[in-house]
Amino acid sequence: MTDNRHKIEQVPPRSDWRDPAVEFRKGTYCHSAGAKYVEALGLPNPRDWNPADADWKLPSDWKEIILNGMAERLERFRSFKLFMDVCVRCGACADKCHYYLGSNDPKNMPMVRAELIRSVYRRYFTPAGRVFGSLAGGRELTEEVIKEWFYYFYQCSECRRCSVFCPFGIDTAEITMIGRELLNLLGCNINWITKPAADCFRVGNHLGIQPHAFKDSLEFAADELEEVTGIRVDIPIGKKGAEVLFVMPSADFFATPHYYTLLGYMSLFHEIGLDFTYSAYASEGGNFGLFTSHEMMKRLNAKIYDEARRLGVKWILGGECGHMWRVLHQYMETMNGPADFLEAPVSPVTGTRFENARSTSMVHICEFTADLLYHDKITLDPKRNDKWSVTYHDSCNPARGMGLLEEPRYVLKRACNNFHEMPENTIREQTFCCGSGSGLGTDENLEMRLRGGFPRANAVRHVREKHGVNLLSCICAIDKATMPTLLEYWVPGVEVAGVHELLGNALVMTGEKERTTNLRGEPLQAAVPETSPAEVVHG
């Protein structure tokens, strides 16, 4: 008897990373961007095409475009130039990528991902590579290589985890960003990024929700909140002279569980009597330009300062969102500043001056709330969150592009009685990505996302088994959209919530009615006793 007859199809072991051939298998790549969205943004080579097709309808001078594009970016970005040169292939990053850990595809090792473009750089831009070719690690630029770039640069969520461990700080996110810019020059965009970017550019937010519908959503949220708390909150939109402009990711007003976080913000602003305004023009904090190109990032981000200037606010408050905060923290003022028409942010309740945001004049809601709590300006009843045993997932961008680690934890520990951290090497600056960041959270890409999210889910499973955790809190709109899916597959029974949803649950509001439900409209206590950790299925 032999087992070999079952080995019908072996995965061919890739002997050499230089072989660019990739198979576009359904479930592991994103749809190409529709021509009309590419056109709406004025990006090159709008056309209808499919990554699985043999002919990608590239412009005839595609090679020249790429090489010129590389030359230009080598001159503009020291990061790019340096990262092309200094990798020693020590391997420290190899097992740090969640896509590699979940997929076991060796080209997902960060240094190999970078090597895909680095090899072309060597061949065309270094003396050694021009002379010695592949002996010096160079590789010819072919259409196959373009396809390979597309496959693997849309398999990197720009989470920067590898960069933490690299002895030279080589940041694959930076390389992926440049790689995608180059692909965009040929019109190789993905729809899940380009369509929201186009809608955001024209209408104001990713879903293209128009001003009147935007207002309706907020009014609807106010109705819901009134049902839970008995309190009617104001919905100021485009209010000139307000002290603060509030900007959130648009998912907060059209998707769940984001929406409950919006109810949390609303309760908080009402309770402290904040003089603020929403904006229908800048109704998107998220910025899919970050996943397109530096230029697109700037084009979409410009609205926030423009609107702040028009409304005459003193400073800007930003909601819970990951990549939005990478842009706000590391790019906004450089791109669209100086923000000299704004003031250094001062909390009207505590008088705290946010020195860390004095120039950009934009404060993260977790910084703002932590300050309120520290000065005991709001009252919380953490018992209202007792049905939850909570853990916290650090979103990549606030963790590794900002360092916002303790503020949300401070809020959580005050708002919840049961809080448990995941293991050390999976949180804070070492946090694992949800696997869907940087515009990859689309449903046709689900299989790849499940692979990429497995290391994170594995750590969640650990705290579920150990502490009976049933809620994962986070401060990222993409997490809130995709983590429930991830956990439903890998760790059923763990739900996802924003930090300010939990705050909103616990917040004791002046004049509120006795609360019987949380912001989700669910009874405050679990109906049946929670399964004890021992009974949770092991595996």
Partner 1 sequence: MRTEDAILERWFARAVEAYPGETVRFLTAERDQFRNPVGHVLRENLAVLLRELLGGMEPSRTKPALEAIIRVRAVQELTATQAVEFVFALRSVVGELAPEHDALSLGRKVDQLALMAFDEYVRCREKMYEIRLNESRRALSVPAAMARMGS
Partner 2 sequence: MAALVAVPLLASAAGVGKGILLVGIPYAAFAIFLGGLCWRVVGWARSPVPFRIPTTCGQQTSLPWIKSAPLDNPSTGLGAVGRMALEVLLFRSLFRNNRAEIYDQRYVFGDSKWLWLGALAFHWSLLVILLRHLRLFVQPVPAFVLFMGKVDSFFQIGAPALYLSNVVVLCALAYLLLRRLWDLRLRYISQFSDYFALLLLLGTALTGVLMRYGTRVDVVAVKRLAIGLATFQPVVPDGVGIVFLIHLLMVSALAAYFPFSKLVHMGGVFLSPTRNLANNSRMKRHVNPWNYPVKTHTYAEWEEEFRDKLLMAEIPLDEAKHD
Q: Taking CB under 8 A as the criterion, which residues in 233-252 touch partner 1?
A: 251
Give me the residue label for tokens 């790429």.
66
Burial label, 88 (beta-carbon count in 10 A; 0-12, 13-18, 19+)? exposed
Our finding on whether 106 is near partner 1 (CB under 8 A) is yes
* Contact region with partner 1 (CB under 8 A), list: 46-54, 190-198, 408-416, 455-463: 455-463
Which residues fall within 8 angstroms of residue 269, CB to CB, at 6 or more apart? 233, 246, 276
Assign residue 162 a region (left: φ > 0; alpha: ψ between -120 and 50; beta: otherwise): alpha
Least distance to partner 1, CB of residue 13, Å: 4
Q: Does 206 sit near partner 2 (CB under 8 A)? A: no
Chain positions 408 to 427 lying near partner 1, rule: CB under 8 A, are 423, 425-426
From the centroid of its chain, how far is CA 102? 19
d(CA 421, CA 473): 11
Tokens coding 367 = 């910084």
Per rule CB under 8 A, count of chain residues that contact partner 1 = 60
**Amino acid letter, residue 349:** V
CA distances from 396 to 35, 98, 129 (A): 31, 12, 35
Do the beta carbons of residue 164 and residue 80 sit within 8 Å? no
Q: Taking the complex as a whole, how short is the minimal distance between the CB of residue 107 and partner 2, in angstroms? A: 10
Q: Where does 41-97 have alpha helices with state H? A: 62-76, 78-85
CB atoms within 10 A of CB 77: 16
Give me the least distance between CB of 8 and partner 1, in Å please: 5
Query: Segment near partner 2 (CB under 8 A), from 334-342, 471-479, 499-507, 520-528?
Result: 334-342
Task: State the nearest-atom distance from the C-beta of 371 to partner 2, in Å.
Answer: 6
User: Which residues inside 106-125 make contact with partner 2, applying CB under 8 A?
Assistant: 106, 109, 111-112, 115
Q: Kindly write out the interface string for residues 166-195 of this chain, putting x where it contacts partner 2 by CB under 8 A and - elsewhere.
A: xxxxxx--x---------------------
Which single residue is written with the structure tokens 């770039």?
149
137 lines the binding site for partner 2 (CB under 8 A) = yes
* Among partner 2, partner 1, none, residue 256 binds (CB under 5-8 Å by kind): partner 1
Of residues 17 and 341, the one with the C-beta less far from partner 1: 17
374 touches partner 2 by CB under 8 A: yes
Q: Output the smallest distance, CB 231 to partner 2, in A.
A: 22
Q: Could you tell me the smallest distance in angstroms from the CB atom of residue 336 to partner 1?
A: 29
Give me Rg for the CA atoms of the chain: 24
From 23, 78, 528, 535, residue interacting with partner 2 (rule: CB under 8 A): 78
Q: Which span (158-166, 212-220, 330-338, 380-388) binds partner 1, by CB under 8 A?
A: 212-220
Identified binder of partner 1 from the candidate list 73, 113, 387, 451, rule CB under 8 A: 451
Q: Does 95 bind partner 1 (CB under 8 A)?
A: yes
CA 285 vs CA 94, 183, 309, 446: distances in Å: 33, 25, 16, 25
Instruction: Go through the chain and tell me how many residues it has.
Output: 539
How far is Cα 330 from Cα 282, in angstroms, rounded to an integer? 19
Which residues from 284-313 bind partner 2, rule CB under 8 A? 294-295, 298-299, 302-303, 306-307, 310
Select from partner 1, partner 2, none the partner in contact with residue 186, using the beta carbon and a kind-dependent cut-off of 5 to 8 Å: none
Strands 362-364 and 315-318, sheet pairing? parallel
Cis geometry, peptide bond prior to residue 59 (ω within 30 degrees of 0): no
Binding-site partner at residue 230 among partner 2, partner 1, none, CB < 5 to 8 Å by type? none
Q: Which is nearer to partner 2, 211 or 484 (CB)?
A: 211
Instruction: Produce one character per residue of 449-474: b if its CB has 16 or more CB atoms within 10 Å, e if not.
Output: bbbbbbbbbbbbbbbbbebbbbbbbb
170 binds, among partner 1, partner 2, none (CB under 5 to 8 A by kind): partner 2
- Footprint of partner 1 on residues 479-498 (CB under 8 A)? 481-482, 484-485, 488-490
Return the residue of 64, 144, 376, 443 that touches partner 1, per CB under 8 A. Answer: 443
Minimum CB distance to partner 1 smaller for 332 or for 463: 463
Q: DSSP 3-state assignment of 480?
A: helix
Q: What are the backbone dihedrals phi and psi of residue 32, each rounded to the nearest 5 degrees, phi first? A: -75, 155
When asked if residue 91 is in the footprint of partner 1 (CB under 8 A), the reply is no
- What is the rounded CA–CA span in Å between residue 236 and residue 218? 10
Quick check: 42 binds partner 2 (CB under 8 A)?
yes
Residue 402 makes contact with partner 2 by CB under 8 A: yes
Q: Should residue 425 be labelled a site residue for partner 2 when binding is judged by CB under 8 A?
A: yes
Strand arrangement, sheet containing 362-364: 276-277, 244-247, 315-318, 362-364
Residues from 6 through 65 that contact partner 1 (CB under 8 A): 6-11, 13-15, 25, 28
- Using DSSP bridges, classify how beta strands 244-247 and 315-318 pair: parallel, antiparallel or unpaired: parallel
- Our finding on whether 341 is near partner 2 (CB under 8 A) is no
Other CB atoms within a 10 A radius of the CB of residue 225 amount to 23
The first and second tokens of residue 301, run together, are: 């981000």
Nearest to 161 by CA among 1, 372, 400: 400
The residues binding partner 1 (CB under 8 A) are: 1-3, 6-11, 13-15, 25, 28, 94-95, 101-106, 207, 213, 216-217, 219-221, 223, 251, 253-257, 259, 423, 425-426, 443, 446-447, 450-451, 454-455, 458-459, 462, 481-482, 484-485, 488-490, 537-539
